[in-house]
């Protein structure tokens, strides 16, 4: 048995790694354009203008709707259930997809109509500053068509992931970010901050057009098909997700309401989290989405050993990549923010405040990356309740950290940033403890992988810090590029010396991919 399973184990690891790499290719474009979106926004609107802060707050509404009806159900229910039918009878598969699509889009249209009717009241729930409320309300209404298009795009993404088609969904996010950039560049002079909503509409429409190419063979069926076992199971799996997303919405609403009381805080937090989301998208999202279909099939087949190996490998790859990303950002915080954002309406003081916020967000970055893989492991086992109950507890972590700092210190909105980091760390620790209770991981050598990644990242950070001091007189772009390049070389070399297992998976997968 040992000899038979070894090639199979390596094949699963390599296929998952290749899938993660394919997703990462699209995510690289997405995250680069996401940074470009923030560069353009910062240059035209700055950090503390009413327009950019009103748009940041207004975006809360489409974000929450998407999370409630689309994002949560995609990973928790649609991909796991669709994956079981994707390789079977095509007609049955498309009947299930059509029924789910009709259900979700009907709910989405009804919710959008309610929000359009009660926008001013809704805005008072997350905007504390009365002067920001009128503009925020206007922007919310303008963003509602974007929500509908995002819903269609998200559902197509679920179908493509279940069919193991990863590139179209990955580049869909890049398309959305490109749309916002185009909207601002073309319409800023005529529309001012409304150019951001115009760009979002362009990007959302582009997402749908791009992903339709992946739906070859689509057989649309009218009706909700709620009596089909798969549709009923999706609804059953979605119920706990809705609870967890509701917890998340409550927490985010509190965070936005508190932040809106400080001048420039919503935009500052947005710019800082963009730097955190960059490695999260490249690492955690890529690996999690790559292993979810495999984990779902292994769980459905009751292959516990394979499930544990796949999950362990996914966690080790995340540790391999997120540790140096966190250490590198910690050392390069100030030059990175200055290099990307400091132009136009975004000045030196804006750089200092944003860099400080970013530094306080970074402790939560590794936790958020690991957390995403653990959540997807529960989703693959059709357990959507546990991760979403943990989300409720995480809001408690946030409030316990943020409110005392807000009341008894002069940190102002930075207290909220620290609260977010504590929330991510607490959520990850609780999720890992719960994972260990149901999925034995003692043979996966995760502790060894963690220690090696931390050691190599710490030594890399020291090398980057020393290089920054030596090259202090060079132009900022040259200095940052040299520091980043040397850091990657040092970290890779240390991983080879330390014999980091996940690095072997990556290099083997790359070599075989290029051979093919």
- Local confidence pLDDT in tens for the 516 residues of the chain: 334 444 455 555 555 555 656 666 777 788 789 889 999 999 999 998 999 999 999 999 998 888 888 877 776 788 888 888 887 888 888 989 988 999 989 999 999 999 999 999 999 999 999 999 999 999 999 999 999 999 999 999 989 888 877 778 878 888 999 999 999 999 999 999 999 999 999 999 999 999 988 787 778 788 887 888 888 888 888 888 788 888 888 999 999 999 999 989 999 999 999 999 888 877 777 777 677 777 877 887 778 888 888 888 888 888 888 999 999 999 999 999 999 999 999 999 999 999 999 999 999 999 999 998 898 888 888 787 888 889 889 999 999 999 999 999 999 999 999 999 999 999 999 999 998 888 887 777 888 888 999 999 999 999 999 998 888 888 888 988 898 899 999 998 988 888 887 776 656 655 655 555
Phi first, then psi, for residue 382 (nearest 5°) are 65, 25
The domain locations on the chain are 49-262
Do residues 146 and 208 make contact, with C-beta atoms less than 8 angstroms apart? no
Q: At what angle do helices 133-162 and 167-191 cross, to 10 degrees?
A: 160
Which of 33, 29, 44, 42 is closest to 339 using CA atoms?
42
Distance, CA of 400 to CA of 509 (rounded, Å): 44
pTM for this predicted structure: 0.83
In sequence order, which residues have a C-beta less than 8 Å from that of residue 158 and are 6 or more positions away? 73, 74, 78, 79, 82
């Amino acid at each position: 048995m040992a000899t038979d399973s070894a090639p199979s184990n390596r094949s699963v690891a390599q296929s998952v790694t290749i899938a993660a790499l394919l997703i990462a290719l699209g995510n690289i474009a997405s995250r680069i354009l996401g940074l470009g979106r923030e560069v353009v926004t910062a240059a035209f609107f700055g950090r503390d203008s009413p327009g950019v802060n009103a748009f940041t707050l207004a975006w809360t509404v489409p974000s929450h709707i998407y999370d409630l009806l689309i994002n949560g159900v995609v990973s928790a229910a649609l991909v796991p259930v669709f994956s079981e039918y994707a390789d079977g009878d095509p007609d049955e598969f498309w009947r299930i997809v059509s029924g789910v699509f009709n259900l979700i889009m009907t709910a989405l249209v009804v919710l959008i109509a309610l929000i359009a009717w009660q926008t001013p009241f809704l805005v008072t729930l997350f905007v504390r500053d009365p002067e920001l409320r009128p503009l925020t309300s206007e922007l919310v209404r303008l963003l509602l068509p974007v929500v509908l298009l995002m819903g269609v795009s998200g559902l197509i993404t679920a179908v493509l992931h279940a069919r193991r088609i990863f590139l179209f969904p990955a580049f869909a996010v890049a398309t959305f970010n490109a749309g916002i950039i185009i909207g601002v560049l073309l319409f800023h002079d005529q529309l001012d901050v409304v150019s951001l909503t115009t760009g979002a509409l362009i990007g959302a429409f582009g997402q749908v057009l791009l992903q339709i190419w992946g739906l070859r063979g689509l057989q649309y069926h009218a009706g909700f098909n709620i009596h089909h076992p798969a549709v009923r199971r999706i609804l059953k799996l979605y119920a706990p997700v809705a609870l967890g997303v509701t917890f998340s919405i409550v927490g985010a609403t509190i965070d936005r309401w508190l932040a809106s009381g400080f001048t420039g805080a919503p935009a500052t937090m947005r710019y800082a989290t963009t730097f955190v989301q960059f490695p999260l998208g490249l690492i955690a999202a890529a690996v999690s989405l790559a292993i979810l279909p495999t984990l779902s099939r292994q769980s459905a087949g009751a292959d516990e050993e394979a499930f544990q190996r796949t999950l362990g490998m996914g966690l080790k790859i995340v540790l391999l990549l997120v540790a140096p990303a966190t250490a590198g950002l910690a050392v390069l915080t100030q030059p990175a923010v200055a290099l990307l954002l400091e132009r136009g309406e975004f000045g030196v003081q804006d750089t200092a405040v944003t860099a400080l916020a970013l530094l306080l967000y970074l402790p939560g970055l590794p936790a958020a990356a690991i957390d995403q893989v653990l959540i997807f492991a529960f989703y693959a086992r059709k357990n959507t309740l546990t991760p979403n109950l943990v989300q409720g507890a995480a809001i408690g972590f946030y409030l316990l950290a943020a409110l005392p700092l807000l009341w008894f210190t002069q940190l102002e909105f930075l207290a909220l940033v620290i609260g977010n980091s504590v929330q991510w760390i607490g959520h990850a620790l609780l999720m890992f403890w719960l994972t260990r209770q149901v999925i034995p991981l003692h043979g996966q050598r995760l502790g060894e992988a963690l220690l090696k990644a931390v050691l190599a990242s710490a030594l890399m950070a020291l090398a980057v810090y020393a290089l920054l001091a030596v090259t202090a007189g060079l132009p900022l772009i040259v200095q940052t590029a040299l520091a980043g390049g040397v850091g990657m070389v040092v970290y890779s070399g240390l991983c080879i010396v330390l014999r980091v297992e996940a690095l072997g998976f990556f290099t083997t997968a790359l070599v075989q991919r290029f051979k093919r």
